[in-house]
Structure 1
Amino acid sequence: MSPLVETVMNAQTVNFTPEQITALFIDAAREGDTDLLTQFLDAGMAIDTPDSRGYTALIVSTYNGHMEAARLLLQRNANTEATDLKGATALSGVAFKGLTDIAKILIDHGAQVDHANFSGRTPLMFAIMFGREDMARLLLNAGANPDHRDVDGVSARDLAERQNLTGLFTERTGA
């Protein structure tokens, strides 16, 4: 165990607040530091502990493109459906960024492709809004619903039409 983790997790020696410990854990995820993440988890850190914005280690590591950290967290049973304070999951973040390799492992570990945030937006909507065509194809092939509507009544199909990406839907169906 690293001296930092040993010090942080030993509450009798140092008076770190739970918020400070969580911040260090989330920072390790943000940096993709699998050794430090492992040490935190082995020392008893709850894997889905959120920071003040609701971000979990899985949300932060995937959003920052850290495949190995994501694999570690998923192997340790991180919740793919944990949400931040806006209701977004890890899959929402990687859909927005177009990180298809990480999206694949999230989906393989049970991430729901149609999980909507508090505005009703799904990962497919984020992929289309930000022109992430490969991500949109991946989500559609994984069963994402292009007709789900957000709180404004807009669907992924509507968004695709606005951006001249309607071919995404005919490619999938072969029509």
Structure 2
Amino acid sequence: MTDAPKPESAEPAHDPEVLELAQKVFDLARHGDTDTLAAYVTAGVPVNLTNDKGDSLLMLAAYHGHPETVRALLAHGADPNRTNDRGQSPIAGAVFKGEEEVVRVLVEAGADPRAGTPSAVETARMFEKRHLLDLFGER
């Protein structure tokens, strides 16, 4: 008999194996492993799963500049306007990081550039990204 870690409770979210799987899925989003991440979502991982900071899989893929992963998550029903615990949206994160292809994918999917704090519009103004302001209809 092994001394495996005991879950803090009977809730699945406290099971070490579930936590390990969740960490793996967040890493897939961060690193843009589109096919593997899509397979997990197809198999039942919630597409709007969030980490302890409220960052969704879409937020992580957008922030780290993976347009194909962003497209795949959106195709599986990810919410393009879901903000994290700090009120940041995926599109604002992509603007901040200069991930313009991701910004365009999110706009095409209906992401609101005015959502969140700071919004993508505010972020584009801050960094003087006039072409993105044009994309957002803000000039």
TM-score range, shorter chain: 0.7 to 0.9
Given that 1:97 and 1:132 are in contact with CA atoms closer than 8 Å, whether structure 2 keeps it comes out as: no
Higher-Rg member (1/2): 1
Two-structure CA RMSD over aligned residues (Å): 1.6
Cross-structure match for 1:137: 134
> How big is each residue's C-alpha offset from its partner over 1:96-139, in whole Å with a ceiling of 9 and x where there is no partner?
1232221122111111121132xxx2211111212323222222
C-alpha distance in 1 between matches for 2:116 and 2:49: 21
Amino acid at match of 1:100: E
Q: Per chain length, whose mean CA-contact separation is higher, i.e. which structure has more relative contact order (CA < 8 Å, sep 6+)? A: 2
Given that 2:32 and 2:66 are in contact with CA atoms closer than 8 Å, whether structure 1 keeps it comes out as: yes
Q: Matches of residues 14-53 of structure 1 in structure 2 within 5 Å? A: 16-53=16-53
The count of aligned residue pairs is 125
Q: Which runs of 5+ in 1 are unaligned?
A: 1-14, 145-168, 170-175
Identity %: 26
Cross-structure match for 1:65: 65
C-alpha distance in 2 between matches for 1:17 and 1:54: 20
> How big is each residue's C-alpha offset from its partner over 1:125-166, in whole Å with a ceiling of 9 and x where there is no partner?
111212323222222x2xx4xxxxxxxxxxxxxxxxxxxxxx
C-alpha distance in 1 between matches for 2:112 and 2:33: 26
Amino acid at match of 1:93: G
Amino acid at match of 1:107: V
Cross-structure match for 2:100: 100
Given that 2:89 and 2:119 are in contact with CA atoms closer than 8 Å, whether structure 1 keeps it comes out as: no
How big is the shift at 1:78? Answer: 0.4
Given that 1:34 and 1:72 are in contact with CA atoms closer than 8 Å, whether structure 2 keeps it comes out as: yes
Amino acid at match of 1:43: A
Given that 2:28 and 2:37 are in contact with CA atoms closer than 8 Å, whether structure 1 keeps it comes out as: yes
